[in-house]
């Protein structure tokens, strides 16, 4: 298996180098997370098969070399992840690509990438123009992609043309109009189910735009004398002494088990019966609940709102009958192709949003956001993606014009992030992610953010919003 489509004679030196890898060591991981959120058993044989299949596509025939490369992938996995970690399939595939490139198999790596894309297309059983991600229905992605094509913003090249030709402000105007039309549709759906409807669940991954979108929906409802009342679930975190830890030994605030689910359900049931509850107050500095509580009650013209990463998790709202709930999911469904013809990863777009917001709003170093992102992504895959099919409405929180603006704010910091993580084997995922996003931003022209409206969702991340967050 070589990129010259011939098999060279065995190289004793190379074999000795391979023996440096402890290939007999068991894998530290036992399961991986699929794109639809399901857990499946980890099997090194599948890695070897994938490498060999990609190799045969370019004329390779060396099964033994495929096995040895799979061993190197396993070694890298064991270096990168602690015992019983649960990476995503996508993370493992990224490692396979890196091993292939570093061992001089560029053509095999390309064939492997093409195979990944083809498998996603087959699973969607649809046209290959777009790729289905994270359990989102194909027809919704097709709608987003079609809008982009109609407005000339489906690729890096097309978006750069808007900036170059001066039609950039017009693109922003049209994108904002489309976003606000979707806001009205959601509000209408909710109004159709009142007065029976008492609970709105807004869920979505980090930086998908939940806060601004929810605020705008509430503005529409206010015109009908209805209002949202937020139930702040942060107050229901367990005390740190009872708090679950992740595979790295850190307190895991991303899992639903970090919340007091029985108390949440008890309070939900009482609130919908018109009772007053005593909501706990959680102190994040001390890691324990305060001794005092806050009275909380739901009035007749009010709809209870839960805005949570885990809003779709069944055990979160078991005490509330389904006819009283409206489940609303928001995701940044970016349907833009990069210069290689591949679609921008939604999670990369959301990471850029969070990097900007964290840097100015929370004084949080963007480098740390990149390094921590794998925690966020795995939690999304385990606790959001499997439940998307249960929602009443899926909302697109991506704006087709935002990547050139992200370039203006974040591109200068990526060289430093790449330099910091490239030599740390335990931060391989952060390095690969940083390099990928750097290359993406490099291909864009900078976009003028001064023409972005003050009430735009984009302002939630870059600042200057007319809303107070």
Summarised one tens digit per residue, pLDDT across range 50-77 is 888 888 888 888 888 988 999 999 998 8
| Domain-located, residue 169 | yes
Q: How far is CA 84 from CA 30, 35, 42, 231, 282, in A?
A: 6, 19, 11, 34, 30
Q: How many CB atoms lie within 10 A of CB 104?
A: 11
More confident: 329 or 379: 329
Give the pLDDT confidence score for residue 132 in this predicted structure.
Answer: 53
Residue 274 sits in the same domain as residue 423: yes
More confident: 447 or 121: 447
d(CA 269, CA 166): 55
Residue 100 sits in the same domain as residue 216: no
Structure token digits, residue 385: 């993606």
Question: What does the pLDDT look like over 139-154, one tens digit per residue?
Answer: 889 999 999 999 999 9
Give the pLDDT confidence score for residue 110 in this predicted structure.
Answer: 75
pLDDT-derived band at 244 (thresholds 50, 70, 90) equals: confident
d(CA 44, CA 261): 37
Residue 228 sits in the same domain as residue 190: yes
| Domain-located, residue 201 | yes
d(CA 77, CA 69): 12
Domain boundary among 124, 157, 180: 124
pLDDT-derived band at 9 (thresholds 50, 70, 90) equals: very low
Residue 142 sits in the same domain as residue 119: no
* pLDDT beyond 80 at 245: no
* pLDDT beyond 60 at 1: no
- What is the chain's mean pLDDT, rounded? 86
| Domain-located, residue 109 | yes
SS3 category, 290: strand
Q: What is the mean pLDDT of residues 346-364?
A: 87
| Domain-located, residue 4 | no
Residue 87 sits in the same domain as residue 142: no
Question: What does the pLDDT look like over 168-214, one tens digit per residue?
Answer: 999 999 999 999 999 999 999 999 999 999 999 999 888 999 999 99
d(CA 129, CA 118): 11
More confident: 465 or 382: 465
Query: Please, are residues 195 and 224 in contact by the beta-carbon 8 Å criterion?
Result: no
d(CA 415, CA 188): 46
Residue 112 sits in the same domain as residue 195: no
| Domain-located, residue 117 | yes
Residue 241 sits in the same domain as residue 174: yes
Residue 282 sits in the same domain as residue 353: yes
Residue 84 sits in the same domain as residue 214: no
Q: What is the mean pLDDT of residues 332-345?
A: 92
Question: What does the pLDDT look like over 362-416, one tens digit per residue?
Answer: 667 899 899 888 878 887 888 888 888 889 999 999 999 999 999 999 999 999 9
Instruction: Kindly report the CATH number assigned to the domain that includes residue 146.
Output: 3.40.50.300
Domain boundary among 75, 102, 124: 124
Most distant CA pair in the chain, distance? 80
Give the pLDDT confidence score for residue 119 in this predicted structure.
Answer: 59
More confident: 119 or 92: 92
| Domain-located, residue 430 | yes
Structure token digits, residue 345: 């990863």
Domain boundary among 76, 92, 124: 124
| Domain-located, residue 469 | no
| Torsion of Cα atoms, 182 then 185 then 190 then 192, to 10° | 180
| Domain-located, residue 84 | yes
Question: What does the pLDDT look like over 360-375, one tens digit per residue?
Answer: 766 678 998 998 888 7
Residue 22 sits in the same domain as residue 163: no
Percent of the residues in the chain that have a pLDDT greater than 90, as a whole number: 52
Q: How far is CA 379 from CA 85, 162, 236, 373, 385, in A?
A: 12, 36, 18, 10, 9
Residue 222 sits in the same domain as residue 278: yes
Question: What does the pLDDT look like over 430-449, one tens digit per residue?
Answer: 998 999 999 999 999 999 99
Query: Please, are residues 317 and 268 in contact by the beta-carbon 8 Å criterion?
Result: yes
Number of structural domains in the chain: 2
Give the pLDDT confidence score for residue 295 in this predicted structure.
Answer: 96
Prediction pTM value: 0.75
d(CA 3, CA 373): 34
Q: What is the mean pLDDT of residues 421-425?
A: 84
Look up the domain containing 340 and give its range: 138-462
Give the pLDDT confidence score for residue 246 in this predicted structure.
Answer: 67
Residue 108 sits in the same domain as residue 221: no
Report the DSSP pairing between strands 199-203 and 325-331: parallel
């Amino acid at each position: 298996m070589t990129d010259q489509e011939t098999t060279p004679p065995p190289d004793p030196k190379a074999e000795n180098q391979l023996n440096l890898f402890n290939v007999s060591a068991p894998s530290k991981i036992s399961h991986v997370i699929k794109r639809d959120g399901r857990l499946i058993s980890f099997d090194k044989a599948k890695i070897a098969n994938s490498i060999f299949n990609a190799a045969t596509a370019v004329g390779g025939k060396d099964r033994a070399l495929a096995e040895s490369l799979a061993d190197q992938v396993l070694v890298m996995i064991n270096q990168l992840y602690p015992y019983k970690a649960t990476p995503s399939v996508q993370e493992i595939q990224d490692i396979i690509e890196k091993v292939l490139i570093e061992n001089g198999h560029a053509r095999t790596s390309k064939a492997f990438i093409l195979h990944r894309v083809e498998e996603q297309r087959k699973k969607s059983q649809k046209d290959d123009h777009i790729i289905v991600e994270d359990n989102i229905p194909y027809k919704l992605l097709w709608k987003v992609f079609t809008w982009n094509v109609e407005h000339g913003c489906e690729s890096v090249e097309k978006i750069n043309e808007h900036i170059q030709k001066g039609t950039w402000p017009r693109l922003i105007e049209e994108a904002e109009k489309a976003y606000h039309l979707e806001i009205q549709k959601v509000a209408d759906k909710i109004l159709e189910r009142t007065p029976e409807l008492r609970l709105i669940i807004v869920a979505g991954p980090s930086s998908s735009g939940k806060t601004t979108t929810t605020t705008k929906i509430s503005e529409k409802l206010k015109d009908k004398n209805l209002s949202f009342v937020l139930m702040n679930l942060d107050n229901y975190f367990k005390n740190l002494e009872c708090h679950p830890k992740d595979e790295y030994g850190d307190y895991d605030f991303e899992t639903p088990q970090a919340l007091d689910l029985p108390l949440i359900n008890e309070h939900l049931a009482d609130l919908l019966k018109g009772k007053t509850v005593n909501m706990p107050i959680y102190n994040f500095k001390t890691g324990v609940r305060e001794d005092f509580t806050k009275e909380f009650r739901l009035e007749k013209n009010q709809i209870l709102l839960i805005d949570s990463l885990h809003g779709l998790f069944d055990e979160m709202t078991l005490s509330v009958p389904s006819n009283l709930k409206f489940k609303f999911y928001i995701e940044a469904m970016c349907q833009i192709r990069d210069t290689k013809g591949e679609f921008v990863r939604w999670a990369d777009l959301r990471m850029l949003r969070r990097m900007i917001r964290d840097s100015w709003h929370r004084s949080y170093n963007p480098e740390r956001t990149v390094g921590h992102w794998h925690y966020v992504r795995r939690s999304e895959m385990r606790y959001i993606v499997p439940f998307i099919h249960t929602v009443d409405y899926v909302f697109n929180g991506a704006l087709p014009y935002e990547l050139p603006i992200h370039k203006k704010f974040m591109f200068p910091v990526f060289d430093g992030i790449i330099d910091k993580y490239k030599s740390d084997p335990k931060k391989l995922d952060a390095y690969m992610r940083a390099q990928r996003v750097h290359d993406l931003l490099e291909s864009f022209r900078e976009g003028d953010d001064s023409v972005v409206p003050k009430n735009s969702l984009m302002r939630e991340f870059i600042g200057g919003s007319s809303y107070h967050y």
